[in-house]
Amino acid sequence: MGLFLSELVAIDVLFVLAASILAIWIYFQHTYQYWERKGVPYLKPTFPYGNVKVIFKKTLHTTTDAKTWYDELKIKGHKFGGVYTFSRRRLVLVDPEYIKDVLTKDFNHFIDRNDHVDEKNNPKGAHLFNIRNPGWKPLRQKLTPTFTSGKMKMMFNSVLECSNYMIDFMKKDVQDGQDIDSREIMAAFTTDVIGSVAFGVECNSFDNSKPEFLNMGRRLLDGGKFSSLLIFIASICPGIGKTLGALAKDSLPKAFFTEVVRSTLEYRKNNKVRRPDFLQLLLDMHEEPTDSEKYVNFNQIVANTILFFIAGFDTSSTTMNFTLYELARNPQIQEKTRDEINTVLAKYQGKITYEALQEMTYLQQVIDETLRLWPPLISLERICTKDYTLRDTNIVIEKGTAIEISPLGLGRDPEYFPNPEKFDPERFTAEEKLKRHPYVHIPFGEGPRNCIGLRFGLMQSRIGIIRVLTNFKLSISSKTKMPLTVSSQYFLLKSNEKLYLRAERI
């Protein structure tokens, strides 16, 4: 009798399991007809992954899929198209006019990013990048004045001083006959800059005896044991991703940076110390009356100095890293860039100044061309916050739909950039830029919610590149596996290969 009951239980379990699988399959099949029902061109999904392909490459990130989707839709002649990440629907934009509509013209329908921050329980994680409407706009308005040209000039010398550590370190490596690990050196430089400007501390990341700030920064960027899984879950189901957010967080880095901010603020206040940096600007806002439009609380200070680290660390170091890579493999362009730098600096008695940077137009062309090929943000996402009708169609994009834009796809599109794999800064002369749609080159986003620190990041990148080129002649080390390829394992752009450079003193 007992055996018979066990068999019945086993049959019941199998029946429930089979019924559950069937229900899930039916749900997915219905979901996968969504774009077809709306009359939107789409890429055929596969159960249960949808259009996710990088899952087969042992990664949980879908950012490089955005370029694949862009390319496939472009080949089919579509201006936009639907895809699925598992069961979640996304609209991929291909035509730059639709990209302009979403990012700028009709921005009020697409204010939010695809985030999973819990603002109530994680106030120090609610920074400008991931905070949602209605909190986003007032915070942006408060922080925008901290990135004006005047504020950039104020912070300029702090960045320049940090570059001295980098050059001294590189000189020692060259003297010892060692190749330069470009990614690590640029990461250490940006860490020093952020430590100085955002946290008000001198951390000298090139000194191996003082690794704490750099190590904590890396732990912050890694996010924690479950960070990759959480990002993946959030990309297909934001509600669950938000609920599980606490699981992914490594609390130690946030506690470390909170204490750094707290102790620095207390020291400056008690000793009446002022410094020309980002933290001082936030401290001044903190001392405004609490009912002032400029006031920011302590948690907002911590959250946005952490954002400064997250945004500045990878984007600026990536920009410099790949710029040096392209210059090392294109010696004629490297020499032309160096000649312009030296010519401009001669007008300023050899000194690197904020004004001198503005005159280095070819250097900016080199950086723009690097950002075309190697945009730090592989994909841009927006969330439709209220139903929206696509221009010149009767297609309604429903609230909650994710919008996907691929700067990597746009930048390597031969329609806009013939022979796209070729590194050619002449693409970004004033005359050539006028020939293209302005929204085919958007490495840092565009519109009201573009990168607020873009101006600072470019200033930092220019200084780093200038210091390197005026001290060293670069070439690719034999240790570097060529060509570099884009990794699908990270949210921001990285190469699968490590970049080593040979540097000769000038």
Q: What is the average per-residue pLDDT within 404-426? A: 97
Q: Among the listed ranges 121-125, 220-224, 497-501, which one has the minimum average pLDDT value?
A: 121-125
Does residue 383 have a pLDDT over 70? yes
Bridge-based pairing of strands 88-93 and 80-85 is antiparallel
Confidence at 138, pLDDT banded by 50, 70, 90 = confident
Domain boundaries, the chain: 34-505
Does residue 79 have a pLDDT over 70? yes
Whether the CB-CB separation of 143 and 294 falls below 8 Å is answered with: no
The confidence score (pLDDT) of residue 225 equals 44
The confidence score (pLDDT) of residue 227 equals 47
Whether the CB-CB separation of 74 and 412 falls below 8 Å is answered with: no
Does residue 150 have a pLDDT over 50? yes
Q: Tell me the three state secondary structure of residue 122.
A: coil
Give, to the nearest 10 degrees, the angle between helix 454-469 and helix 331-347.
Answer: 100
Question: Which residues lie across from 405 on neighbouring strands?
Answer: 380
Does residue 391 have a pLDDT over 60? yes
The confidence score (pLDDT) of residue 3 equals 53
The confidence score (pLDDT) of residue 314 equals 79
Q: What is the pLDDT of residues 252-308, one digit of tens each?
A: 778 888 898 999 989 998 999 898 888 888 888 898 999 888 898 998 888 888 877
Confidence at 241, pLDDT banded by 50, 70, 90 = very low
Does residue 72 have a pLDDT over 70? yes
Higher pLDDT, 133 or 41: 41
Q: What is the pLDDT of residues 431-489, one digit of tens each?
A: 999 999 999 999 999 999 988 888 899 999 999 999 999 999 999 999 999 888 887 76
DSSP states of 290-336 = TTSTT---HHHHHHHHHHHHHHHHHHHHHHHHHHHHHHHH-HHHHHH
- Whether domain 34-505 has CATH 3.30.413.10: the reply is no
The confidence score (pLDDT) of residue 345 equals 98
C-alpha–C-alpha distance, residues 504 and 488, integer Å: 33
Q: What is the pLDDT of residues 334-367, one digit of tens each?
A: 999 999 999 999 999 999 999 999 999 999 999 9
Q: What is the average per-residue pLDDT within 168-195? A: 92
The confidence score (pLDDT) of residue 407 equals 96
Q: Among the listed ranges 20-29, 46-55, 324-333, 461-470, which one has the minimum average pLDDT value?
A: 20-29
Does residue 247 have a pLDDT over 60? no
Q: What is the average per-residue pLDDT within 201-207? A: 84
The confidence score (pLDDT) of residue 243 equals 46
The total of other beta-carbon atoms located within 10 Å of residue 227's CB is 17
Q: Among the listed ranges 183-197, 267-281, 308-322, which one has the minimum average pLDDT value?
A: 308-322
Confidence at 59, pLDDT banded by 50, 70, 90 = very low
Q: What is the average per-residue pLDDT within 173-194? A: 92
Tokens standing for residue 148: 């004006």
Does residue 198 have a pLDDT over 50? yes
Q: What is the average per-residue pLDDT within 24-40? A: 87
The confidence score (pLDDT) of residue 63 equals 67
Which residue in 444, 435, 296, 431 sits closest to 367, CA to CA?
Answer: 444
Q: Tell me the three state secondary structure of residue 123.
A: helix
Q: What is the CA radius of gyration of the chain?
A: 25
Does residue 244 have a pLDDT over 50? no
The confidence score (pLDDT) of residue 122 equals 56
What's the burial of 50, exposed, middle or buried (CB within 10 Å: 0-12/13-18/19+)?
Answer: buried
Question: Which residues lie across from 457 on neighbouring strands?
Answer: none
The confidence score (pLDDT) of residue 212 equals 77
Whether the CB-CB separation of 185 and 167 falls below 8 Å is answered with: no
Whether the CB-CB separation of 94 and 370 falls below 8 Å is answered with: no
Distances (CA, A) of 389 to 38, 285, 395: 12, 40, 6
Bridge-based pairing of strands 180-181 and 380-383 is unpaired
Amino acid at the residue 318: T
162 is in an annotated binding site: no
The confidence score (pLDDT) of residue 117 equals 55
C-alpha–C-alpha distance, residues 239 and 221, integer Å: 22
Does residue 121 have a pLDDT over 70? no
Q: What is the average per-residue pLDDT within 215-241? A: 56
Confidence (pTM):
0.88
Question: Which residues lie across from 50 on neighbouring strands?
Answer: 46, 85
The confidence score (pLDDT) of residue 226 equals 43
Report the mean per-residue pLDDT for the chain.
Answer: 85
Q: What is the average per-residue pLDDT within 208-234? A: 61
Does residue 8 have a pLDDT over 70? no
